[in-house]
Structures are given as structure tokens and as C-alpha cells.
Amino acid sequence: MSNADSGSAPRAGARILNEAEVRGLIGPDEALAAVREAFSRMGRGETMLPPAMFIWVPEHEGEVHVKGAHVVGAANYAVKFASVFERNPEKGLATVTGMVLTFSAETGYLSGMLMDNGFLTDLRTGAAGALAADLLARQDVEQAAVIGAGIQGRYQLEALLGVRQPRRVRIFDVNGAAAEAYAAEMSEKTGLTVAVASSVQEALRGADVVVSTTPAPSPHTMLEWVEPGTHYTAMGSDNPHKQELDAGLLAAAGKLVVDSREMCAVNGELHHALDAGLMTIDDVHAELGEVAAGLKPGRTSDDEITVADLTGLGIQDTAVADYVMRRAIAAGVGRDLDGLL
């Protein structure tokens, strides 16, 4: 992730890539490696991570997330803009879109404009879920459950298969048709048996790994439904009004791991447990980066319940964007904007 590794001299110009070009340069395996390294560096104190910025556009049911970071040693730092506009399908547009700007970590000059339409956000979010499962789930996974049959539910399952090999999968979504479509698509894509569950409780029955990816405003998963030995990753709560898990589940978990104590105390599942007086910040076992760096242990018992609370961090965006930019320059992909910017 260093300038020496990039094989390129400092650049004063910038390169623009469209979504298809970005997709051609990075996939789940590369994203997981980049995100794992970024979290490890965070655990060792080698990242610069400012707070995220949120912009609400209530009149159009829109929310915009602005996140950025620098990972020490990376050729580029990045700032990501990702938006979710719920009414877009009425206009024939995708709900989620976005772009990433990269800047030379050596000069501060703009180095890239990645017009990815939210692809890198989806990919890096899936990678973080896979990393959490790799560090916290049991090695032998008989059954996985996915709560939420949207785009991220697909990325999460595909990424999970990079670290664990479940024999079957259950999917639940409040939209039954969406769950049926997910099951058909992901069964064909992965070769696994993906069955539709009639409820969250049914989806969790017998699950070794659970990933929830919903924007739920109130908990859909209760403590008593989660069996001993389960690993549960919740990533739908990325601002204060969202909550997927019963706060008691976090308090009862053998290990609660967060991507950032600071962010999760404000925006994640953790903040609901704190507000309810069920936990203090000292009850958090570790940040994901501390476990990735080997500074704190992951799972230590086959019977313990582990929970990962992931809000999504700018280091993930920087990790995948830096990888894409270095690959683009090496492969001659994209168009230079020298003299135009």
C-alpha cells in the first residue's frame, strides 16, 4: 500500500474511471485483503479517521454519507460520497449512488475520480462483514442466515464465502417476493441451497453465522432467538435512528466487537445499549482492527455468542479506492484529466 508498491511517480493530474472500469479492477477477494490490512493498521494506530458527515435531504427522502480517511503507507487517501434516495425507483433510478475522490498522499493533488455509483461502498461493506466472520465465527459453519434481501445481502453472502463454507443459507426479508428472488439468484450463483425463512426467528434457528443488512428503525432480532455459538454481524445501523438488534443481545454477548467505539457509540447498535444503561463503553471487547492486528483475541470458545457492530468507516473506502487507483495506473485503465482540472 505504499508509493513504492504503486510503481508510479507522483502525479499532478487526475484519472477518471467509470463504474465498469472500477468493477473490472477489484473483486471480493481483493477487497477483503485491502480491508483486512486497513483494519489491522487501524488497530496499530496507523490511520487518520475523521468523523463521518451525514447530510439529510428530507423532502426527497435522501441521506448522504461523506466519509474519508488516510491509511499510513497508502499511495492515496480518499473521500467517499454515498447517497440513498428512497424515491429514486419511482424515477427509474437506483436507490444508491455515489463516487470516491482519491488524492495523492505524497502531494495532496487529486489523483482519481471513481464514478462507481456506490459499487465500492457495497464491496467494502461486504469485505468488513467477511473479516468479522473470519475473526469471530466458528471455523465449521453448517448454516448461515442473511436478514435483508437487498443488494448488500448479496454482497455479504458472496464475501462470506471467501472465509467460510456454509452448507446451507436461510434468507429473510419483510418483502417475501424479494426474499424469493434472492434465494433463486444466490442459489444459482453460489451453488448453495438458499431457502426462504418465514421470520427472523426461523432464519436464526440453527444458524452459525448471521448477517443483518436492514435499515430497521426498531429491533427485529431478539436475544432469546440467538443460539450459543452464533456469530452475528449487524451493519444496518449507520445512523442513530436505526436499530436491528435487541440491546440485550449486545449486553449478553460473550464478545462485542465494533468497527469504531466512537462511531458505534453514536450511530451503531452500541449506542442503543448505552442509552438503555445495559452497557458501558468499557464493556466493548475490542475494535475490529484490534482483533485483526492480533492485539486482542477473537472467538475463544465454540459456545460463546459473538456480535460485530459495523457502521462503516472511511478506512474501508480508502483501502479499496487506493487499490483501484494503483491497479488503474499500472494497467492504463481510465482517462487522464491532466490540463482539465
CA distance to 54, 56, 261, per residue, from 84 (Å): 11, 10, 25
What is the tens place of the pLDDT at every residue in 111-145? 999 999 999 999 999 999 999 999 999 999 999 99
Please indicate, yes or no, whether residues 44 and 178 belong to a single structural domain of this protein: no
CB atoms within 10 A of CB 231: 30
pLDDT at 9: 47
Q: For residue 46, is it within any domain?
A: yes
Active site residues: 80
Please indicate, yes or no, whether residues 323 and 308 belong to a single structural domain of this protein: no
Percent of the chain with pLDDT over 90: 91
With 60 as the cut, is the pLDDT of residue 12 above it? no
Task: Measure the CA–CA gap between 84 and 251, rounded to whole angstroms.
Answer: 31
What is the tens place of the pLDDT at every residue in 58-109? 999 999 999 999 999 999 999 999 999 989 999 999 888 999 999 999 999 9
Q: What is the CATH number of the domain that holds 14?
A: 3.30.1780.10
Identify the band that residue 337 occupies on the pLDDT scale cut at 50, 70 and 90: confident
Please indicate, yes or no, whether residues 304 and 226 belong to a single structural domain of this protein: yes
Q: For residue 288, is it within any domain?
A: yes
pLDDT at 2: 42
Task: Measure the CA–CA gap between 51 and 34, rounded to whole angstroms.
Answer: 21
What is the tens place of the pLDDT at every residue in 220-250? 999 999 999 999 999 998 888 899 999 999 9
Q: For residue 129, is it within any domain?
A: no
Q: For residue 128, is it within any domain?
A: no
Tell which residue, 306, 307, 248, 254, has the closest CA to residue 272: 248
Q: For residue 341, is it within any domain?
A: no
What is the tens place of the pLDDT at every residue in 309-332? 999 999 999 999 999 999 999 999
**Using an 8 Å Cβ cutoff, are 105 and 321 in contact?**
no
Q: For residue 132, is it within any domain?
A: no
SS3 state of residue 296: coil
Question: Quick one: cell of 250?
Answer: 449486545
List of residues 6+ apart from 11 with CB closer than 8 A: 104, 107, 109, 111, 329
- Model pTM score: 0.93
Kindly state the average pLDDT of the residues 295-310.
97
Please indicate, yes or no, whether residues 86 and 150 belong to a single structural domain of this protein: no
With 70 as the cut, is the pLDDT of residue 1 above it? no
Domain count for the chain: 2
What is the tens place of the pLDDT at every residue in 265-290? 999 999 999 999 999 999 999 999 99
Q: What is the CATH number of the domain that holds 241?
A: 3.40.50.720
The per-residue pLDDT of the chain, averaged, comes to 94
Q: What is the DSSP letter of 128?
A: H
Report the side by side order of strands in the sheet with 306-309.
Answer: 193-196, 168-172, 143-147, 209-212, 231-234, 306-309, 255-258, 286-287
Domain range for 8 is: 3-121+315-336
List of residues 6+ apart from 239 with CB closer than 8 A: 54, 63, 267
Please indicate, yes or no, whether residues 300 and 206 belong to a single structural domain of this protein: yes
Tell which residue, 170, 271, 148, has the closest CA to residue 214: 148
Per DSSP, the residues of 59-112 read GGTEEEEEEEEEETT-SEEEEEEEEEETTGGGGT--SEEEEEEEEETTT--EEE
